[in-house]
Amino acid sequence: AQSVTQLGSHVSVSEGALVLLRCNYSSSVPPYLFWYVQYPNQGLQLLLKYTTGATLVKGINGFEAEFKKSETSFHLTKPSAHMSDAAEYFCAVSDLGTGGTSYGKLTFGQGTILTVHP
């Protein structure tokens, strides 16, 4: 079974500082990996995703993530935090459904709340 672990339920940074949100996964097959962002009382918005190819993936709002197979990690980074980055971030992994169907079930991590201080 797939699983996702996000290290740190809360991360606090100063405006302009590096943002690093950690995600580790377990998967028996090559994974497809996603980062979503959620602002309070809203739905989830896709930040970026890794499927195949280049292991460094760039997303919206200046975020990027690197797929490291040897470390089973997909950490999210942003060089300089902005106040508007304050939100909850979810890492997710997609796998094949039962019976070999192409259903892409998403398994989510527990989420990391990012706080940005002025």
Task: Give the interface segment with another protein, choosing from 20-28, 40-48, 55-63, 67-75 (CB under 8 A).
Answer: 40-48
Task: Give the interface segment with another protein, choosing from 17-25, 63-71, 76-84, 106-114 (CB under 8 A).
Answer: 106-114
Contacts of 104 (CB under 8 A, 6+ apart): 32, 94, 95, 96, 97
Beta bridge partners of 95: 105
Min dist. Cβ of residue 32 to another protein (A): 4
Q: Residue 95's closest CA among 107, 79, 110?
A: 107
**Region 11-30 residues binding another protein, contact defined as CB under 8 A:** none
Q: Residue 33's closest CA among 1, 62, 72, 71?
A: 72
Q: Which of 82, 110, 115, 117 binds another protein (CB under 8 A)?
A: 110
Task: Give the interface segment with another protein, choosing from 18-26, 41-49, 58-66, 77-85 (CB under 8 A).
Answer: 41-49
Our finding on whether 55 is near another protein (CB under 8 A) is: no
Question: d(Cα 33, Cα 117) in Å, to the nearest integer?
Answer: 29
- Tally Cβ neighbours within 10 Å of residue 53: 7
- Interface contacts to another protein, rule CB under 8 A: 4, 9, 32, 34, 36, 41-46, 49, 51, 90, 94-97, 101-106, 108-111
